[in-house]
Structures are given as structure tokens and as C-alpha cells.
Structure 1
Amino acid sequence: MLILTIKTLLSAILIVAIAELGKRSSFWGAALASLPLTSLLAMIWIYLDTRDTAQIAATASSIFWLVIPSLLLFLLLPLLLRAGWNFWLALLLSSAATALAYALMVWLLPRFGVTL
């Protein structure tokens, strides 16, 4: 239980640090957020729990393929906000479009021999 608490605290600290830094500097907040810190933490936690490098390799490969549809959120959200959309509506639409892009990617990849 202690390990789970430590994992949760470290992960929460990272998210709060990104949000706080983003309030002070959009560039540095974005720079920190764009690093694959969450993915790295997740892979470290998996490795520490399992010592299974094959699982880490599979996770890293899946993350690569799923980053591609996630980019839609970062393209669509600022476009909608700059066009004057309400934040919550723009976030909802961007998230929905991203979810559809994920579904399309998950459907498409096996047709090219890629397994997640």
C-alpha cells in the first residue's frame, strides 16, 4: 500500500507542477507537459512491479501508435478557442474528436499488421 501511495503522490506532484508552471509560462508549462513523463513514470512503475521488459516494450510501442491520434486534441482545441468557442464546449468537442481518432487508429492498425 505504501508503494501505491508513493506512486500516486509522485504522479499528482507532476501534474500539479505542470499546471502551476503553465500559469507562469505557457512555453515552459507546455515544454514540461510535452515530455513523456507520464509514460516514463508508468513504464517505471510497471517495471518495478513486474521486471517484465517485454511488457515495457509492448507498452512503449502502443504509446507510440496512440500518440498520433492524441495530437488531434492539441490541434483542434486551440483552433476552436481562437475561433471564440466556449472553453468547455471546445474541450468536449476536441476530446470527442480525439476519442474517435483513437477508435479509428485502433481499428486501422491491425489491418497493417500492428498489434497494440
Structure 2
Amino acid sequence: MWSVIAKALLAGAMIAAIAEIGKRLPTMAALVASLPLVSILGMIFLWHARPDAENMARHSEATFWFVLPSLPMFLLIPLMLRQGLPFWLALAVGCTVTVGLYLLMVQFGPRLGIRL
């Protein structure tokens, strides 16, 4: 149980740090947010729980394929904001598009030989 609490606190601290950095240096906050810190920590925790090379390889490969459908959101949201859409609407549309792209990846990825 303490392990789960520690992981949650670490994740929260990372998000808080990005938000604080972003108040003064938005580009630096974007750089920190773009780092695969969550993926790396997830791999470390997964390896600690189950040190299996094949399992880790599959996890890492699937993470790569699931990052791709999330990328358009980071271009779509600024485009909508610059067109005058409210932030919450732009965020909702960006997230909805991302969920749709995830569903497409899950549906068609394996058909294309992608192991998820």
C-alpha cells in the first residue's frame, strides 16, 4: 500500500513541478512535460514488480505505439485556441480526438502487425 502512495505522490510532484515551471517558463515546462518520465518510472516500477525482459520489451514497444495517437492533440489544441475557441472546449476536442485515435490504434494496429 505504501508503494502505491509513494508512486502517486511522485506523479503528483512531477505534475506540480511542471505547473510551477510553466508559470514563468512555458517552453521549459513543455520540455519537462515531454520527457518520458512517467514511462521511465513506470518501466522501473514494472521491472521491480516483474523482472521479465520479454514483458518489459513488449511494454516499451506498446508504449511507443500508443504515444503516436496522442501527438496530434498537441497541434490541434493550439490551433483551436488561436482560432478563438475556449480552452475547455479545445481541450475536450483534443482529448476526444486522442481517444478516437487510440481506439483506431487498438483496432487496426494488430491487423498491421503492431504488437500492443
TM-score normalized by structure 1? 0.94
Q: How many residues align?
A: 116
**2-structure distance, mates of 1:95, 1:57:** 28
**2-structure distance, mates of 1:103, 1:95:** 12
Structure 1 position 113 matched with structure 2 position 113: yes
**Structure 2 counterpart of 1:16:** 16
Distance apart, 1:71 and its partner CA: 0.4
CA contact (8 A) 2:18 2:32 kept: yes
Structure 1 position 92 matched with structure 2 position 81: no
Letter in 1 for 2:93: L
Distance apart, 1:59 and its partner CA: 1.0
Distance apart, 1:52 and its partner CA: 2.0
Runs ≥4 residues deviating over 2 A:
none
Cα root mean square deviation, aligned: 1.0
**1-structure distance, mates of 2:55, 2:115:** 13
Distance apart, 1:16 and its partner CA: 0.8
**2-structure distance, mates of 1:10, 1:35:** 15
**Structure 2 counterpart of 1:66:** 66
Distance apart, 1:6 and its partner CA: 1.5
**Structure 2 counterpart of 1:53:** 53
Distance apart, 1:90 and its partner CA: 0.7
Distance apart, 1:67 and its partner CA: 0.9
Identity value in percent: 45
Structure 1 position 25 matched with structure 2 position 22: no
